[in-house]
Chains A and B, each alone.
Chain A
């Protein structure tokens, strides 16, 4: 990067950064009604979805789009991919599949 460009700070904004910033602001404004993430598991790919209150869906049929469309119609279309909200759920599921956990403690909505 030339000195000129550094001074002018003209690096184009990167889409993933811009989207991450939007997601943070959406969550702070209480607009992220349903957060979801996908994870691998011994029984295939899982889709996890949670409201602010707790887990609303765990789908393991591989039809993630159908599950999200159904949540949009049934609960709210304000749905974003936001793994942050599902960290605790993922951790418990990982432990469950490793045989280390038998009772889940994450809240359900």
Chain B
């Protein structure tokens, strides 16, 4: 079996199962908030398969949750690109009509999905993950100020939409 490059560089990687134990729930919640219930499962599996594939070559094990969420964010972008190419299915039309039956929490996340991409990511990371602005900034490859602004603008839009 090939030993990972990481070993030679002295990085101690925990067994991958620990990443599932510690972060799978957060990643799934993030994905549900970003792509909805139906696509979240596939995005989750794509995320963890990509992570498992790259894992032995990982050079820094200090922020594994941030690393997983960065991969998840890329999978969300892939899913959105795929959805744009896909014709709208009839049950998705039903979804649009049937929306008022959703419980309050789900309704809110539907509204979050309607936000512009950066605000959507920032709001999901802040409130589904309870992450700090510094942490969000790292995941989104931006500054903490910009992360705070995106959350703030996103919340403002959601408040307007709720009334």
Contact = CB atoms under 8 A, between A and B. Distances in A.
A48 interface: no
State the main secondary structure of chain B at its contact with A.
Answer: helix
Contact of B56 (A4, A10, A71, A78): A78
B37 A10 contact: yes
Interface in A53-109: 68-69, 71-81
Contacts of A69: 12, 14-15
A82 B89 CA distance: 36
B49 interface: yes
A72 B45 contact: no
B48 A22 contact: yes
B12 A73 contact: yes
Given A18-B28, A78-B52, A80-B15, 9 more contacts: A4-B98, A10-B37, A13-B37, A13-B44, A18-B40, A69-B15, A73-B12, A77-B6, A80-B20
Interface of A: 2, 4-5, 7-13, 15, 17-19, 21-22, 25-26, 29, 31, 33-34, 36, 51, 68-69, 71-81
